[in-house]
Structure 1
Amino acid sequence: MPASIKLHQLRAFVEVTRQGSIRAASRVAKLSQPALSKSVQELEEALGAPLFIRQRQGVQLTATGKDFFRHASLILEELRVAQEEIQQRLGQAGGSVNIGVGGSIARTLMPKVITQFHHLFPEVSVRILEGQLVTLLPELRQGELDFTINTWSPGHQDNELSYETLMERDYCVVVRKGHPLANATSLEALRHCSWTMPSPNGSYYQLLQDLFADSGPLPAITITCETFMACASLLAQSDFVSILSQDFFTDPLVGHRLVALKLREKMPRATFCLIRRKDTALTPMGAQLARLFRQQSQALVLA
């Protein structure tokens, strides 16, 4: 009969994996290094397989460790969600909600939604990650994010996830005010420029490859900015060219320093969805936050 796995062993393994070393994990978990090492060793013995390769500078997951980490982290998140759901249903407003947002959502819907949510539930902590869906998928799959509000396009699918359409938004080619080609009227006039984009693996930005391909070779994109703020800051202080949501021009930090070009070619519209795991129900607080995002999305569409 296989040895039983203890909860503290799972927690030790997941923390060491996330921190990259026993020493770093002991500081975060506030446990001694020998205690963490013992828990991990007991877990390896229970599983009958090594989970880490021990190195001088830390630890590295074995192939078995990588597979088990996905299960272990999801188990711990499911337990957290279950515990918080019971507490919240008993009227104990607390716990946490973890969400991901795309860059344009971070500058439009998110501030209003989070302000309203915090006013309604001041005891609930919220963790917000900004990024494209492709960069947030690992945490979403592992249960570390309750949901994300991000772009989605046909063909960019994951059978583990559900996609609830919230709204569509317009995108445009963007340069700084005073850019030498601020009066350009076609993509062809901009093809030789220096472009910066998020990763082309992002669901919306995959659509742009087809757009450029119809009119000739793709422009060279040598600078990849994974956050919209990094992209917008680079645009505002250089002659780089990019494609951003039109909502970005409402950003008080850099929106006033950028202009949208009036091109013959129309950029594809982006579809924003509330994306979450199919097999995990949201906690009451997670459901409340999702409801507020739906309301603000509808208000933005009708504005």
Structure 2
Amino acid sequence: MKYLPKMQQLHVFRQVVRSRSIRGAARVMGQSQPAVSRTLRELEQTLSAQLFLRGNEGITLTEAGEAFSRRAEWILEELQRAAEEVEQINHFSQGKLSIGFSSLIALTVFPSVADSFKTRLPQASLHIKEGQLATLLPLLQQGELDLAIGTINPAKVPEDVIVEPLFSAPFCVIARSGHPLAQATSLTDLRRAKWLLPEANVGYYQQLQDELNEFYGQMHEEPIRTDSVICGLNMVLHTDYLTIVARAMSTPLFLQDRLTVLPINTLPSAQYCVIWSQKSDLTATARQFLLALRQQCQNYPW
């Protein structure tokens, strides 16, 4: 390849991918459709590859387009991050930080971490996305997140990320106060119970599936499955459904008097980690947040 793509071509390409149409991209960018089409043709000529398939219902990416889209997204996000870091140095700004984490972090250490971080960097811009790693990892790999916090299977760690263990969180079974099975001491006693179980394809949800697969197969009634913590808590509070959560989740939102932890001690624990991309160094702002995160996780009674 004799020439590299131009920055404007990357911006137009990204917007077309996001809009799923040339017309939509042109409208968002304030350009004419012919101008957007011309930029795409020039980009394809530069790369000597077809990036889009054009049809009556818009455009779809080719295999080459999919690969280029992932790289282009990361390049633009990384360039934005570099510009912001230079601005911080030149104007004594304190930076922007985007992080993602699961509900366990949101309901336990995050308030203290955020308070400590903002005490050190009161002018820093902090943006939060809540979700499981199945959702957060692609955003991290694309450069849209600086840090992600959650659980990950050690055997399935993507090659392009750095993983730092933070803490281990044991699981427990919870029920509403007064549940008829509240004194059960083994999973065997709960085979005929009504269950709502967490569902996701990475992290501790998958770990539970792997380790409790035999018990799941013994359940008398097919469980409800969800990745929503609010849905799960509400079902447990207002019905006889049971669910499995990290023990630190058993007393959130001032629900201690309405929830009970069953005396079952045979459930596994989950290793929570903080994850960031290998492709770029952490900014000074991200390092400050990571320092506060380590301190609070070390002191929290998991």
Q: What is the TM-score of this pair, normalised by structure 1?
A: 0.85
Q: What amino acid is the match of 2:103?
A: G
Alignment-derived partner of residue 144 in structure 2? 144
Counterparts of 1:182-197 in structure 2, within 5 Å, are: 182-197=182-197
- 2:227 matches 1:226: yes
Partner SS for 1:224: strand
Change (3 A) 1:216 1:107: closer
What amino acid sits opposite 2:17 in the alignment? T
User: Which moved further from structure 2: 42-51 or 273-282?
Assistant: 42-51
| 1:60-71 map, 5 Å | 60-71=60-71
Partner of 2:82: 82
- Is it true that 1:260 corresponds to 2:261 in the alignment? yes
User: What is the CA distance between 1:291 and its match in structure 2?
Assistant: 1.4
Kindly state the Cα deviation for residue 33 of structure 1 after the two structures are TM-superposed: 5.0
- 1:16-31 to 2 correspondence within 5 Å? 16-26=16-26, 29-31=28-30
1:208 is aligned to 208
Q: Number of paired residues?
A: 300
For residue 51 of structure 1, report the CA deviation from its aligned partner: 1.9
Query: Secondary structure of 2:189's match?
Result: helix
Q: Work out the CA distance in 1 between the residues paired with 2:23 and 2:97.
A: 28
Deviation of 1:44 (Å)? 2.2
Matches within 5 A, 1:114-125: 114-125=114-125
Structure 1 position 300, deviation (Å): 1.0
Matched to 2:137, the amino acid is L
Structure 2: gaps spanning 5 or more residues? none
1:221 Cα offset (Å)? 5.9
In the alignment, the residues of structure 2 paired with residue 209 and residue 231 of structure 1 have an alpha-carbon distance, to the nearest angstrom, of 17
Q: SS of 2:45's equivalent?
A: helix
Shift of residue 216, structure 1, vs aligned partner: 7.3
Distance 2:36 2:47 in 1: 17
Alignment of 1:101-112 (within 5 A): 101-112=101-112
1:38-64: CA deviation from partner (whole Å, max 9, x where unpaired)? 433332232232322334444322211
CA RMSD in angstroms comes to 2.8
Residue identity opposite 1:251 in structure 2: P
Post-superposition Cα deviations, 1:123-175, rounded to whole Å, max 9, x if no partner, equal 43222222222322211222221111112343232222211111112221122
Deviations 1:157-212, CA, capped at 9 Å, x for gaps = 22222111111122211223343433332212322334333335222223323442
Look up the match of 1:247.
248
- Aligned equivalent of 1:300: 300
- Alpha carbons 1:93, 1:121 under 8 Å: kept: no
Q: Is contact 2:153–2:202 with CA below 8 Å preserved after alignment?
A: no
1-structure distance, mates of 2:139, 2:157: 16
Query: Is the 1:88–1:284 Cα contact (8 Å) retained in structure 2?
Result: no
State the secondary structure of the residue aligned to 1:192: coil
